[in-house]
Structure 1
Amino acid sequence: MLVAFRRAGVSHALRASRALAVKTTSQRAAQWIIPSATPITQTLRSSFHTSPVRFSVSAAQEAENAVPTTGSQELVNFSQLQGKIDPQFVDNITRRMKITTMTDVQSKTIAYTLDGSDCLGQAKTGTGKTLAFLVPVVQKVIAGLPASRFAKQQMRAGDIRAIIISPTRELAEQIANEAQRLVAGTGVQVQTAVGGTQKAMHLRKCQNEGCHILVGTPGRLYDVLSSPYSGIRAPNLSAFVLDECDRLLDDGFSQDIQQIAELLPDPTKVDRQTLMFSATMNRDVLRLVNTMMKPGFKNVKTIDENEAPTHMSVPQRTVIMNGYENGFASILEMVKNYRANYLARRTEDPELRPFKAIIYLNTTKLTSLAFQIFDRLLNVPGDFRSGHPFGNMPLYEIHSKLTQAARTRTSQQFRAAREGILFSSDVTARGMDYPDVTHVIQLGCPRDRETYIHRLGRTARAHKKGEGWLYLHKDEKVYAQAKLAGLPLKIDRSLETATKDMVNEETNEHIEQIKNAAQDIHPDERTEAVTTFGNHAEGVLGRYAMEGMKNFAIHGLGLKEAPYFRGGMQRSPGRSGNRMLGGGGGSRGGYGSRDNYGSRDNYGSRDNNRSRGNYGSRDNYGSRDNYGSRDHNRSRGNYGSRDNNGSRGRGGVSNAMFGI
């Protein structure tokens, strides 16, 4: 990550609109000399040359010759912050959060930012960068608040001291949660403003409880800051943070950021520290750095250029499947194998951790379906008393169709879990920090290389071990070769389920367990999952897509027929752009009648024998609450339909491709 902070002095302040209007002169360019804590790379310097305010040759040379600032300023333990920040913060970090030793980015950043200096830093994800910027921000906030402001009745939403912008709701909630832990007992109030949530409720919280630190997404932040009726104002803003800056720009938030900046107080009159984080330093990011930050910022680099990046160092295995119909059962076999051998392997490897995985799927509907199927697994198909193959290991789901409250609750539960599986769409793929994830599993090739790498980055964080598994349809090889060339993927042939010819009725225990559980899901839900997945598969499998989806629907999910599709892959004359994969029509537009889909008394409801405990562990009934975790009622009438809170109603490939 690249961390950018803003220097304390106000006389040289530049902001977006003003900086773009300034004429470039050699005298002004000379002001943009970086007194770096570590040398800036040639890529960084050359990129800065294209920005509105340019470096002079002497400035670039000085940056090249800059020497790292170390020694007395560098910190190792958080206890060293005693006397430098509020003692309550130190106590919260060391005693409540149980963090004693600083990571590299924390030790090299915090010391340079407590005085209000800007700092451009570079660090990998999962190295504690959130706490690295929160410490100077909360200290700056509390230092500017008189003691009387901590009286609840005097707190108000019209005097926000710090604003933190994140590209996604999940990241914003994660940052806010960590900030709340950091400021506990100090009276500093942290609030959120994110899309997909109840705006009125958050405004009431701000107005009733007060707000010193506001964390949010660009659209919602602009909405509340620009509204004359919200009461949200920041006349004394002292800190401004842009997290995941490259992603903010990639997602089209450049104008929102500019508009938010224009709503903030004039930095020449009210000085503030600006913090920016970015995984990459492209031209757009550097242009934003130049327009948002003042001269005199420092550079901190925490990446060893000789150290391989995570996606090149994490063990990565590829399972080549006979078809998508083999996917769920192959994953089931892999999870069972790990859990069965865990205790024996633990004696040989004390660092081996319980199975904690994120399973990424390429569509929201498929994510939801996978979770439901794995949730309904039975050791003995049809015997509700036989128990679940995973025992008490909790399962979770997270995707965009859940409410923000549900997603937040699920994230918190999975983050705290010792073991478990999170079925996820790409809402968690970038920036989210889930401790101790042992496996990242991807079913089907992701849409691009960047998505694969960001997903993989959820494991092997904070110097812990992890591994990646990629499950590919045998006909995905051309697509995968193009997208993932050069990554250290190794073919894994340990899973017999992956190569079973399910079209010709080859089976085993894992396949039967998946098929049995799939019959519990209403045909409409299975159909919708196949339909949305088919749109993705068209670009991956090419001319094999129709056959692949037909086999997945019928032989993997137990549908009588594959559903109708819309799109170029499926178009045929006389069907107005719709084409059904295999078989005749039947009732309900080719799906057949509902009564023919393996009904199980009230459409798949089970008795009360599958307990899993609260919030994801099986309790005496084993169903799930409104946040996607299991709670008190296993019955799933109407094939387990769900509301938007995540609750359920009652109802061979070339070896050269992977470096072998």
Structure 2
Amino acid sequence: MTQTQAAMLSQALQEPGGVDADLLVQARTGSGKTLGFLVPLVERLRRKPCVGVGGLVLAPTRELVLQLSREAEQLLSFQPLTVLPLVGGISRREDQKNIRRTKPHVIIATPGRLLDHLEGSFLFHTLFEDLQVLVLDEADRLLDMGFTDTLRSISGYLPESRTTFLVSATINKTVEQVAGKVCRKKFKFLDCRRKASRGDREREEEEEGTQTLAAPPPEIQQRAVVHPSDSTAVCLFNVIMEEMRRDPFRHKILVFFPTARMTSFFALFFREQFRLASYEMHRRKDTASRLHTMQRFMKDEAAVMFSSDISSRGMDYPDVSLVVQVGAPQTRDQYVHRVGRTGRGGKFGRSVLLLSEPEGSFLDLIGDLKVRTQSTQSDAEAQKLLCHNELTAMGVSSWQANSQLIYAAQGAFASLLLHFGFLRTKLKMSDDDVIRVASGALLSCGMSDQPVVSRRLATDLQLWGNPLLKTSAALDDDEDPRDLAASFLNRQRQQEQERRVAETGEFDTGPAGDWVRGKQARGRSLRREKETDPEIRKQWTDSSMRRALGDLRKEEGQKVF
């Protein structure tokens, strides 16, 4: 039993009935907090049987829902209780058949899917009339992804007499405000992190006020390497090879990329050119494919998986020996959660952050963490990552006729422009830096020339007319409306953040530009843009653009590019 589990169980099971007090729990990633809330939930249902669903667990992603469902099924193996996951990608009718067949006592679901049933399935809300325990897992991520209104709507269908758990590795003001609304009065705050030194705690309070900062477990060895942007591919290859040579038969490597399209391109490039077998995990894959990939990676003793941020929160991949992050994460918390995929359960793990030179200012955001920083310009160990061998030299020079790779590279380049367009204020990057870093990542793979992007995308990113960027009006008709919507929203966020910095001197570090608190301000900004900018007025009147914007606003934070 871990320290986190002991603390959670001692609080949740101290009442005679099993669970009584509402809890707001902060615990490190990989500390076993899942069993910390599943065991009290099962104990409550075992002692006080109910009619219908007695336990409801909400998680931000499908993958996390399916993982929690498997762990709950193992826990209920010898109990007369059943569990059912509800995720998107399956018809409501199929879910209704599964409910009638299994008669679940515990439902684990994503908020969007659950609300869809509550509003669209006849008498679905009656399943929860005797609900006893509600759990919000990864509560901060639920709010960052724009589920605040969804959670408020769901809460209206549930009985007020329930017990509520909010569990997260990061507790901020927004989480505390939501806890005050979904929990009963006088809920308990339980901090399961290992106690920091007095100096660390005073520094955190001075920097973040009431916000509590997350940090990776001390068992993880953290390393950051700053390198030229046109050496991204060879640096990543050498980092992976180092880990494979360290343990050829039991290495498990998880590589994070900023966007889904970049994940797809690098996975394809490493398979085709470097002959490196790897899995890929991102939201452009369908649900069945992602589930199959997740299961294979969990079972394999030696494997490499390229992933977008979909795997950064809550996913418990066993025995991950190395986590690699290519490019600067959006926030400090995102960095911490990605690192937390290794070193779980008190085991030793390693983490490597690969930053191009213009992204080096991200190190200031993680300056309080024990990260060993190296530069390929001055550090002999880091310079070894720049070395080419016969395989890499051949791999980066022999794919110019591969139309599949060229097409994937064009999509990856556009998505990187969107990613850095959102981060350039935080990372203090100029427009030229954004273009150089995005193109450098692809040129490092041997691409002979920078991909061309649509003129509309360049306009949305305020890069139109920059001599370093190649654009074409012919690509405007082929632009994916959802990609345009994403770029439009990124532009809105950036302008609002710059306005906030000018007015208050404070920068919002939320991964989605603090969608919850800034929603009304962005609405005013959007109206001003529509009235004054003819290009935006033209885009806004397009029906496909409007529908795509609506979809993205409902599921904010889930990248589609």
Length-normalised TM-score, structure 2: 0.70
Q: Distance in 1 between matches of 2:182 and 2:433?
A: 50
- The percent of aligned pairs where both chains have the same amino acid is 26
* 1:258 aligns to 2:152 (yes or no): yes
* 1:311 aligns to 2:198 (yes or no): no
Please point out which of 79, 93, 102 is paired with 1:209. 102
Range that drifts further, 523-532 or 551-560: 551-560
Q: Which one has a larger percent helix, Structure 1 or Structure 2?
A: 2
Map 1:151-300 → 2, pairs under 5 A: 159-229=52-122, 231=124, 233-267=127-161, 272-294=162-184, 300=190
Please point out which of 325, 328, 340 is paired with 1:445. 328
**2:260 aligned partner:** 364
Question: How far 1:366 moved relative to its partner?
Answer: 0.6
* 1:480 aligns to 2:362 (yes or no): yes
* 1:322 aligns to 2:228 (yes or no): yes
Q: Distance in 1 between matches of 2:47 and 2:119?
A: 27
Please point out which of 387, 393, 396 is paired with 2:279. 396
SS at match of 1:441: strand
Measured on the aligned residues, the alpha-carbon RMSD in Å equals 3.2
**1:427 aligned partner:** 310
**CA shift in 2, pair 1:461/1:516, >3 Å:** farther
Q: Distance in 2 between matches of 1:306 and 1:588?
A: 53
TM-superposition CA deviations, 1:481-512 (whole Å, max 9, x none): 44444442321643556546xxxxx8754242
Map 1:512-523 → 2, pairs under 5 A: 512-516=394-398, 520=402, 521-523=404-406
**CA shift in 2, pair 1:137/1:517, >3 Å:** farther
Map 1:229-628 → 2, pairs under 5 A: 229=122, 231=124, 233-267=127-161, 272-294=162-184, 300-306=190-196, 310-311=215-216, 313=218, 314-323=220-229, 325-342=230-247, 354-377=250-273, 388=275, 395-477=278-360, 479-487=361-369, 488-491=371-374, 493-494=380-381, 496=383, 498-499=385-386, 509-516=391-398, 520=402, 521-538=404-421, 539=424, 541-542=429-430, 543-554=432-443, 556-564=445-453, 566-567=457-458, 568=461, 570-572=463-465, 579-580=469-470
Return the letter of the residue paired with 1:162. Answer: G
Tell me, yes or no, if the aligned pair for 2:255 and 2:305 is still in contact at 8 Å: yes
Tell me, yes or no, if the aligned pair for 1:319 and 1:471 is still in contact at 8 Å: yes
**CA shift in 2, pair 1:551/1:291, >3 Å:** closer
Return the letter of the residue paired with 1:140. Answer: R
TM-superposition CA deviations, 1:332-352 (whole Å, max 9, x none): 122223323437xxxxxxxxx
**CA shift in 2, pair 1:103/1:551, >3 Å:** closer
Q: Distance in 1 between matches of 2:324 and 2:289?
A: 23
TM-superposition CA deviations, 1:348-386 (whole Å, max 9, x none): xxxxx93211111111111001111222245xxxxxxxx
Q: Distance in 2 between matches of 1:182 and 1:138?
A: 8
Q: Distance in 2 between matches of 1:525 and 1:259?
A: 39
Return the letter of the residue paired with 1:118. Answer: A
Q: Distance in 2 between matches of 1:341 and 1:282?
A: 39
* 1:126 aligns to 2:20 (yes or no): no
SS at match of 1:167: coil
Return the letter of the residue paired with 2:237. Answer: L
Tell me, yes or no, if the aligned pair for 2:259 and 2:416 is still in contact at 8 Å: yes
Question: How far 1:289 moved relative to its partner?
Answer: 3.1
Question: How far 1:167 moved relative to its partner?
Answer: 2.1
Q: Distance in 2 between matches of 1:119 and 1:126?
A: 23
Question: How far 1:144 moved relative to its partner?
Answer: 3.8
**1:43 aligned partner:** none
Question: How far 1:204 moved relative to its partner?
Answer: 1.9
Tell me, yes or no, if the aligned pair for 2:84 and 2:102 is still in contact at 8 Å: no
SS at match of 2:344: coil
**CA shift in 2, pair 1:588/1:252, >3 Å:** closer
**1:117 aligned partner:** 20
Question: How far 1:549 moved relative to its partner?
Answer: 4.1
**CA shift in 2, pair 1:279/1:319, >3 Å:** closer
Q: Distance in 1 between matches of 2:400 and 2:267?
A: 11
Question: How far 1:214 moved relative to its partner?
Answer: 0.8
Q: Distance in 2 between matches of 1:476 and 1:122?
A: 30
Length-normalised TM-score, structure 1: 0.60
TM-superposition CA deviations, 1:290-322 (whole Å, max 9, x none): 343345655654323137864384322222322
Tell me, yes or no, if the aligned pair for 2:233 and 2:444 is still in contact at 8 Å: no
Q: Extract unaligned runs of 5+ from structure 1.
A: 1-101, 147-157, 344-352, 379-387, 501-505, 590-660
**CA shift in 2, pair 1:518/1:461, >3 Å:** farther
Tell me, yes or no, if the aligned pair for 1:456 and 1:468 is still in contact at 8 Å: yes
Question: How far 1:286 moved relative to its partner?
Answer: 3.0
Tell me, yes or no, if the aligned pair for 1:224 and 1:230 is still in contact at 8 Å: no
Tell me, yes or no, if the aligned pair for 1:398 and 1:425 is still in contact at 8 Å: yes
Q: Distance in 1 between matches of 2:190 and 2:333?
A: 25
SS at match of 1:530: helix
TM-superposition CA deviations, 1:443-487 (whole Å, max 9, x none): 11122222222211212221111121111222333x324444444
Return the letter of the residue paired with 1:494. Answer: E
Question: How far 1:563 moved relative to its partner?
Answer: 1.9
Return the letter of the residue paired with 1:445. Answer: A
TM-superposition CA deviations, 1:30-83 (whole Å, max 9, x none): xxxxxxxxxxxxxxxxxxxxxxxxxxxxxxxxxxxxxxxxxxxxxxxxxxxxxx
SS at match of 2:134: strand
Return the letter of the residue paired with 1:304. Answer: R
TM-superposition CA deviations, 1:68-125 (whole Å, max 9, x none): xxxxxxxxxxxxxxxxxxxxxxxxxxxxxxxxxx111222322443422225344222
TM-superposition CA deviations, 1:192-230 (whole Å, max 9, x none): 222344333222211222221111111211221233526
Q: Distance in 2 between matches of 1:107 and 1:252?
A: 32
**CA shift in 2, pair 1:570/1:258, >3 Å:** closer
Tell me, yes or no, if the aligned pair for 1:329 and 1:511 is still in contact at 8 Å: no
Q: Extract unaligned runs of 5+ from structure 2.
A: 201-213, 477-561
TM-superposition CA deviations, 1:143-177 (whole Å, max 9, x none): 4448xxxxxxxxxxx82221111122222222111
Tell me, yes or no, if the aligned pair for 1:112 and 1:119 is still in contact at 8 Å: no
**1:140 aligned partner:** 44
